[in-house]
Amino acid sequence: MYPHSNITVTSDPSQTCKYLRNMLEERSIWDAAFRDILEVIPLRGIRCALPDMTSTELRRKANRIALVDNLWSRDTIHPVKIERHSLSPDICRVEVLPGGEFILTLRKDGELQLRNTRDFVKPLLTVTRPNQSSCQYYPESTDMRRSVSERGENWAVVLDYYSTSEGEPRTDLRIYLIDTTTASMLPLTTITKHAYCIDYHPMGEFLATSIQDGDNYLVSLRRICFSSSLDEKEVVLNLGQGMNNPRTTILCGHKFLVSTALNLRLYQIPEMGPICDEGAFYPEVTAPIAIHAEGTPGHGKLIWDALCDHHDGRFAIYTWSAQEELLVQILPAPGQSQDSIVCYSIDGACAGGTSRIIGCKEFVDMQPMELCCYAHFMRPDMCVGYVRLGRTRAFDPSHSVLIPLLGHDGRAEDLHWDEESGRLCVLFSPNGDRNAKALLMVDMI
């Protein structure tokens, strides 16, 4: 029975016999069920923590994720709780760490702050930017992104643009290992680019950065190491000319995607070299293994048919339209035609979880903020992970779910959400006043 059971039913003692109740106390049962769920909602941090979790912890965590997943079958979600906190107006980014208990905030001067949601007002810990007094920094461009490695390490990248005293452009990418058990943020390394970075993307153990070198578009892919026993490695590829406002997305350790307003290009990641040798540099233009351009025939294989075998469902990529609107494109599953591509625009700030993206609807003065949510990662229908969650089919990627934030007017500047806990944070300017900042901590269950 258990390989096909809905966990929200089998975890309710009133719906089971004594024998089944006793069997469901077995840790192996919940471990197997949870691993099935993680195939459709791929939360890396939880997967790494599974061996140390008790049966009770597995059951509680699995049920919470199932409750969050069940929300997306509705047309509108009304949060169960919204807390509002005033913040300094120079806070520019926010990230919810897995589990929803801790939040990262970033100031425009590059200061990274770790906060506990139970005592949000004062940061637990801060790390500041090692300023170089002779350099001119550009605080409006300070940025942060975060990822989780395959081994469950949380790490953040803080980006700073500046120019040297000689007027030379520079970009620093400061990388920190975030450990919530010890409330620490350990600096791992700082990567300096002798140009303004066009785009960057952390994923798993990898960091992609891109710069313009003359007319050519260069992409660096670096493996970040979280232990001194391992060596960082890097490869730098010349992707040639004609890249209009590109975005780089690492799909896995073997392939990455570059998206522009004109097309999508899929590339193979070649063997990396040691950092001490300045990485493995390929000066010749690297050809994509597949290209997709709207309304034109594909180049060789279709992109979604040229992916690694472990990409057996649908996933989303981000790009810009010709009108510089942020677009989300959900690609077809392998074997499907390009007619099944789903594309929608995001009016304001947005955040992608592991299986869903939440974005802000267009700001309307004196009106409550509204969020829209879409599925953007889907496995094939009848996947056992969906059965565990009480359904048989993936959610329709064209179906949007509205999340109204009633009573809270303003312009959303940034947002992030944690799929594990169902907690969402919105950084916004009340009533559109850019000289004031507040944060909404939204619990959806």
What's residue 76's pLDDT?
96
pLDDT at 1: 42
pLDDT computed for residue 15 by the predictor: 56
First to last CA, the chain: 29
What pLDDT is recorded for position 320? 78
DSSP assignment string, 263-303 = -EEEEE----EEGGGT-EEEEEEPPPSEEE-TTS--BSS-G
pLDDT at residue number 136: 94
Cα dihedral: 347, 348, 351, 356 (round 10):
-20
How far apart, in whole angstroms, are the C-alpha atoms of residue 120 and residue 103? 9
* pLDDT at residue number 361: 78
Give the pLDDT of residue 413. Answer: 92
Q: How far apart, in Å, are the Cα atoms of 231 and each of 171, 222, 293, 393?
A: 23, 11, 38, 42
Q: What is the pLDDT of residue 8?
A: 61
Give the integer Cα–Cα distance in Å for 152 and 160: 26
The pLDDT, as a whole number, for residue 419 is: 92
Q: pLDDT value at position 150?
A: 87
**How many whole angstroms from its chain centre is CA 372?**
17
Closest CA to 368 of 320, 406, 402, 324: 406
Q: Residue 106 corresponds to which amino acid?
A: L
Q: Along the 445 residues of the chain, how does pLDDT read in single tens digits?
A: 455 567 665 555 555 566 566 666 788 888 999 999 999 999 988 888 899 999 999 989 999 999 999 999 999 999 999 999 999 999 999 999 999 999 999 999 999 999 999 999 899 999 999 877 789 999 999 999 999 998 889 999 999 999 999 999 999 999 999 998 898 999 999 999 999 999 999 999 999 999 998 889 999 999 999 877 678 899 999 999 888 788 999 999 999 999 988 889 999 999 988 875 445 667 789 999 999 886 555 555 688 888 888 888 888 888 877 777 788 888 888 888 877 888 888 878 888 888 999 988 777 776 889 999 999 888 988 899 999 999 999 999 889 999 999 999 888 999 999 999 999 999 999 876 778 899 999 999 9
Query: For the whole model, what pTM was predicted?
Result: 0.90
